[in-house]
Amino acid sequence: MNALKNIRNIDYTVLFARDMEAMRRFYEDVMGFAVHSSLGEGWIAYQVGSCLLALTKRGVMFDDAPTPARALSVQLAFRVAPGQVDQCADALRDKGVAIEGEPTDQPWGHRTLFFRDPDGNVLEIYADI
């Protein structure tokens, strides 16, 4: 039997931050995520539902070259209740976040909203419709 078939979910996601201070301010002050744990300046994890979203500096464990600025490397999708996508767009605009994809009903059954964090990662807020 393949032991890898026992994997049940993604427990946490780690983003290698180019600008740790800007990323921390964004995820704490703009997104409002609660700090779950911190290991000093180089690692912080936020509780997002049942998962953790962690930020780290390059060189803490891995020291690969950073991806170029504004290069796509990850997209994170955050689910909200139906009807809240537009409210999230308003809240993001109020905090000065540029919306890259206005709230839109998609043919695959989601209402979506797209924007980026300070490192250029694509973030999506969506609801089932």
Chain segment 24-59, per-residue pLDDT in tens:
999 999 999 999 999 988 999 999 999 999 999 988
49: Cα separation from own chain's centroid: 12
pLDDT of residue 34: 96
Same-domain status, 54 and 78? no
Start-to-end CA distance of the chain, whole Å, equals 39
Q: Of 107, 104, 101, 49, which Cα lies nearest the Cα of 79?
A: 49
Question: What CATH number is attached to the domain comprising 16?
Answer: 3.10.180.10
- Answer left, alpha or beta for residue 120, where phi above 0 means left and psi between -120 and 50 means alpha: left
Q: Are residues 85 and 111 in the same domain?
A: yes
The tens digit of pLDDT for each residue in 93-128 reads: 999 999 999 999 999 999 999 999 999 999 999 999
The verdict on 79 and 45 lying in the same domain is: no
CA angle at 54 for the pair 70 and 90, rounded to the nearest 5°:
60
pLDDT at 62: 86
